[in-house]
């Protein structure tokens, strides 16, 4: 069993981040609360397996991710990522990266968040893991049971869709 006092400190510190992650993964408010609790419960049970040389945030985010996927599967809202269709690197459409002013404008208008929420789950998950949780490509690859290049492909796809959406929204606005 985990050291309760130590874990309680971690729980208080990381609760907001895990909750935000569960919201993004995406579960509605009440479900996200439950999922956050469940994430910490699982983490508490397996705290001994946590290797302290790695960031706690990365470890618990992975647990949250797995739990949310389980929830989505149970609710019938999760479709397995078919990587075979994504692995053709040469077919990737090229697109310009977003300039900072577009992103800053999008941030202020919450357009970025909306655009992220509207990403297909197979793109949103690695995107959130990369830029919200700050996991490396390698860690995401382990989590999603993919290889690193596939993670790159998914991220690139995610960014391409975001760029298209944000650019259109900025122009339209």
Site for other proteins in 73-132 (CB under 8 A): 74-75, 89-90, 92, 94-100, 103-104, 106-107, 112-113, 116, 127-128, 130-132
**Ranges assigned E (strand) in 5-141:** none
In contact, 81 and 122? CB cutoff 8 Å: yes
In the set 22, 25, 26, 63, which binds other proteins (CB under 8 A)?
Answer: 63
Measuring CA to CA, which residue among 98, 152, 158, 104 is closest to residue 128? 158
Question: Which residue number, 41 or 79, has a Cβ lying nearer to other proteins?
Answer: 41
Binding flags for other proteins, 140-159, as an x/- string (CB under 8 A): --xx----xx-xxx-xx--x
- Give me the DSSP letters along 135-165: --HHHHHHHHT--HHHHHHHHHHHHHHHHHH
Closest separation between CB of residue 113 and other proteins, Å? 7
Closest separation between CB of residue 107 and other proteins, Å? 5
Measuring CA to CA, which residue among 68, 14, 10, 9 is closest to residue 38? 68
Closest separation between CB of residue 121 and other proteins, Å? 16
Tell me: does residue 30 bind other proteins (CB under 8 A): yes
In contact, 65 and 129? CB cutoff 8 Å: yes
């Amino acid at each position: 069993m985990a050291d309760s006092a130590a874990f309680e400190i971690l729980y208080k510190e990381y609760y907001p981040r895990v909750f935000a992650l569960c919201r993004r993964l995406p579960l509605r408010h009440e479900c996200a609360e439950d999922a956050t609790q469940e994430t910490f419960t699982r983490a508490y049970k397996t705290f001994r397996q946590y290797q302290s040389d790695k960031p706690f945030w990365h470890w618990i985010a992975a647990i949250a991710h797995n739990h949310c996927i389980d929830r989505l599967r149970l609710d019938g809202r999760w479709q397995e990522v078919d990587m075979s269709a994504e692995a053709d690197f040469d077919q990737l459409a090229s697109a310009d990266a977003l300039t900072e002013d577009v992103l800053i404008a999008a941030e202020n208008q919450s357009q970025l968040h909306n655009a992220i929420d509207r990403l297909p789950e197979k793109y949103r998950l690695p995107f959130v893991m990369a830029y919200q949780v700050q996991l490396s490509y390698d860690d995401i690859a382990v989590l999603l049971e993919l290889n690193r290049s596939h993670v790159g492909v998914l991220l690139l796809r995610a960014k391409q869709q975001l760029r298209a959406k944000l650019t259109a929204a900025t122009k339209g606005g």
